[in-house]
Amino acid sequence: MKECGVVTKIENGIATIELKKNEGCHSCGLCLCGQDPTLMVLTAAARAETNVGDRVQIEVDRRIRSLAQLWLLAVPIAVFLATALVAKLLLKLGDGISFLISIAALAGSFWLAWYMDKKTGWSSQPVARIAEHSDGDGDGDG
């Protein structure tokens, strides 16, 4: 997916790019909302010639989106279900205790994801790359 936007900040080789939201924005989830609800903000690996104020065309890395969904959805759900099954079927615990243990495991999996992110810096990594500098209007219409 290619989008056009304007570079608003560059720090440590990572550009912050402001784009206008489009119809695909509801399903992606990789951006941060800007102050204006019609705008989104993405981070991208900056090219050497990139400057603040440049209009650029970016490509969103779909692998990052898939990994984020896996870590934030699939893993916690799998932990919750596996813990419930182990508590109920193997340990023969009651429904209430099994549920509480599963909730604790779910909370633990979210804590682990947060801790891993703090150690590895995954959330600070760019989610896109600058494909080219554009002469377009930077309106996000791609």
Kindly state the average pLDDT of the residues 102-118: 91
What pLDDT score was predicted for residue 86?
Answer: 95
Instruction: List, for residues 38-60, the tens digit of each pLDDT value.
Output: 788 888 888 888 999 999 998 87
Whole-number mean pLDDT of the chain? 81
**Rg (alpha carbons) of the chain, rounded to whole number:** 20
Tokens for 12, please give them.
């440590």
Place of tokens 């919750």: 80
pTM value is 0.57
Transcribe the chain into DSSP letters. -EEEEEEEEEETTEEEEEEE--TTHHHH--SEE-SSTTEEEEEEEPPTT--TT-EEEEEE-HHHHHHHHIIIIIHHHHHHHHHHHIIIIIS---HHHHHHHHHHHHHHHHHHHHHHHHHH-GGGS-SEEEEEE--S--SS--
Q: Where in the chain is the domain with CATH 2.40.50.140?
A: 2-61+126-133
CATH architecture group of domain 2-61+126-133:
Beta Barrel (2.40)
> Which residues, 6+ apart, have CB-to-CB distance to 108 below 8 Å?
79
